[in-house]
Amino acid sequence: MAVSRVQLVETQFRSFLDNFEDVPSRSDLDNPVRNGATLTARETIAIFTAQLTSRNLDIISRELKARGESFYTIGSSGHEGNASVAAALRPTDPAFLHYRSGAFFLARAQQVPGPAGAMDVLLGMVASTDEPIAGGRHKVFGSVPLNIPPQTSTIASQLPKALGWAVALERKNRLLNTQDDSISVCTFGDASINHATATTTLNAAGWTRHQRVPAPVLFVCEDNGFGISVRTPQGWVAANNQQRHGVKYFFADGLDLVDAYEQARLAAAYVRTERAPALLHMRTVRLLGHAGSDVEQLYRTTKEIEASEAQDPLIQSARILMENGWMTKTQVKELHDQTYVRLSALAEEAVRRPKIRTAAEVIRPLYFEDAAVLKKGPRQAEPDQRLAHFKNLPEKSERLRHMAFQLNRGLSDLLLAYDNAIVFGEDVGRKGGVYHVTQGLTKAFGVGRVFNTLLDETMILGLAIGSGQAGLIPLPEVQYLAYLMNAIDQLRGEAGSMQFFSQGQYSNPMVLRIAAFAYQKGFGGHFHNDNGIAALREIPGILIGTPSRGDDGVRMLRTLMTSAAELGRVCVMLEPIALYMMKDLYESGDNKWLTTYPAPTEILEPGSVGVYGDGTQLCIMSYANGLWMSLRVAKKLEQQGLSCRVIDIRWLQPLPLAALSEHAKACEKVLIVDECRKNSGIANEVSASLWETTENTRIARLQADDTYIPLGAAANLVLLQEEDIERAALQLLES
């Protein structure tokens, strides 16, 4: 018969209580719990109660799992010292929690009036729709009243946004004239501290402090010595972080709730006073394995497991209270048993609560009513404010400009209209961006609103996520499309999932601008010319657009900003590098790709398309560089007496399939021109949809080769060329 480690841990706890000799009881609960402590006995009992609640929830989750009623058994046993960290903080300090921070969650629930607490955890375990934060979509520690945004936190992915929130708070205070002295706290494990996401965040925290930029964030590493079965070398976390530049190191014994509290209090006070980052390294022990399915005996000896169990923090907490007379062993037993009985009754109630029954319920938080919001129109600055900035209102000028120039004006308009908007990224400040899109913005709006970051896409996006949650509207820039791959999980795992895990109660508003696609002349290689967008398009719920012309770029930018500001949506604009400075369309000097500046009320609605011509023989559907080439081809075909129309798809996620279908039905043949490589574009989905929704229309696709892009002229061998489009169009028309 298999040994139940849960029963052994429980038996050990009870055996300790049975063998303890009570000392004279004390009733002065508002005195320090022991000599030299600032923590009172009353506060200690509250922390201990949270610890007992957390432990019993772990036990009950496994009991429910055995009945097929629970779907999550990663517990917090051995990590209950994090309850002391919660007690040392304010409930208004946002907490980005590790999945073993159950006692923290419960201790904070004690600080905030309301129902949040153990029932929330149980409802999450059984995946009930009544669970207040995720609604049964996942078991997370999250709560709006408790100021705990939900995240799965499996690979330290919450660290960048915790730092981002801290940095953004100080900017928000200056921009909006507030005086919020909150700090952010982020808990994570000793295995996660080795992940690239954690190391880059800690580096960025030190980099920020080195520049004397306020960043009030407390990182809490809960060190139990294991990452599932992989051991953390003894002393590694301390050795690697005690002398880290710019991040002050504190150590706490998480097995001793008083020491954990005192050190957390000191660390929090340092962060709050100095507005600087700190790392609280807290010793913990992992009990009951990684999760309910984990067989520890496969990688740990019985002696090692028993040694860990002997360090049970609940035993240490009970000892502190009993040896000083604040509780008797009978009182501790009663508190433990009553907690178990109460939670068991709640668990039975949780099991009876409703579950998600339809796919529509699952995906509901990912749908956005853009149209209703956009009907109100984009926010505009006061006319006098715009006139003072521009000197001459750009929409009044008939002078034609290229896309980079118009986007610069569009960003200026947004910064004027939204006093909580910030623009940041690599080289966007004084240099004005590699392609001059942000030129002059730092001078006009100040380094508090338009500024350079360190060269780290993970932190650029982490700052964007944290900024959005802090109340700002970030417009981050990633310098090239390929660079996004360095940090894609910040979009997929964090920003993109926040609405899903919180049912829209938390959001990550942002407009991410990316210099994208290929066709740069004299400057290439696969890092600076990339034509793959599948990684972006597979993220549920985000809005992705790509403009081809300056006026459309400004209109799209306003649309995305409105969606981000009003709906909290994650928005991405892919800006075709090769078209930034494009002037001509058909022949040199015709200036037909330059545009005027659109009136401040003009937008591009998601689901709409751009239409060039009304021919019925051939419809060419494309976007970005493909649109520019397709218009040139269409003119050649029309000169041959062929009737064409060209459609700018422009919205890449979700695709404007209904609008495309209507144009396909109006034409005899459709050619989809997709400049992205075959397995990373939109042609496959568009063609499949058109085949399903049209009956008599012949459909063909044209895509770039499925390869990285080489340097020099060789790039043209694998990228779509104008001649390729013309050849494909003629073949389709002749078929």
Question: What pLDDT, in 10s, does the model give residues 349-398?
Answer: 999 999 999 999 999 998 877 788 888 889 999 999 999 999 999 999 99
Neighbours of 15 (CB within 10 A): 11
**Residue 337 confidence (pLDDT):** 96
DSSP per residue, 574-642: EEEGGGSS---SSSTT--TT-BPPPPTT----TT--EEE---SSEEEEE-HHHHHHHHHHHHHHHHTT-
CATH class of the domain whose range is 5-289+305-354: alpha beta
Looking from the CA of 705 toward its CB, the CA atoms found within 13 Å total 12
Confirm if 692 and 645 have CB atoms less than 8 A apart.
no
Confirm if 7 and 59 have CB atoms less than 8 A apart.
no
What is the separation of C-alpha 158 from the centre of its chain, rounded to a whole number of angstroms? 8
Six-digit token string for 669: 């043949």
What average pLDDT does the structure give for the chain?
A: 94
Six-digit token string for 639: 């000169």
E-strand ranges in 73-157 read: 95-96
Angle ∠(535,541,545) on CA atoms, nearest 5: 65
**Residue 3 confidence (pLDDT):** 59
Rg over CA atoms, the chain: 29
pLDDT tops 80 at residue 262: yes
CATH topology of domain 371-579: Rossmann fold (3.40.50)
Six-digit token string for 668: 């005899």
pLDDT tops 90 at residue 696: no
Tokens 């940090």 label which residue? 487
Question: What pLDDT, in 10s, does the model give residues 398-419?
Answer: 999 999 999 999 999 999 999 9
**Residue 1 confidence (pLDDT):** 40
**Residue 520 confidence (pLDDT):** 87
What is the separation of C-alpha 413 from the centre of its chain, rounded to a whole number of angstroms? 26
Cα dihedral sign, 367-372-377-380: negative
Question: What pLDDT, in 10s, does the model give residues 119-172?
Answer: 999 999 999 999 999 999 999 999 999 999 998 766 899 999 999 999 999 999
Residue 715 CB partners (closer than 8 Å, separation 6+): 518, 524, 529, 709
SS3 441: helix
Phi, then psi, of 388 in degrees rounded to 5: -65, -35
CATH of 610-734 among 3.40.50.1100, 3.40.50.360, 3.40.50.920, 3.40.190.10: 3.40.50.920
Least confident piece of the model among 585-599, 603-617, 707-721:
707-721
Do the first three CATH levels of 5-289+305-354 and 371-579 match, i.e. the same topology? yes
pLDDT tops 70 at residue 459: yes
The residue ranges of every structural domain in the chain are: 5-289+305-354, 371-579, 610-734
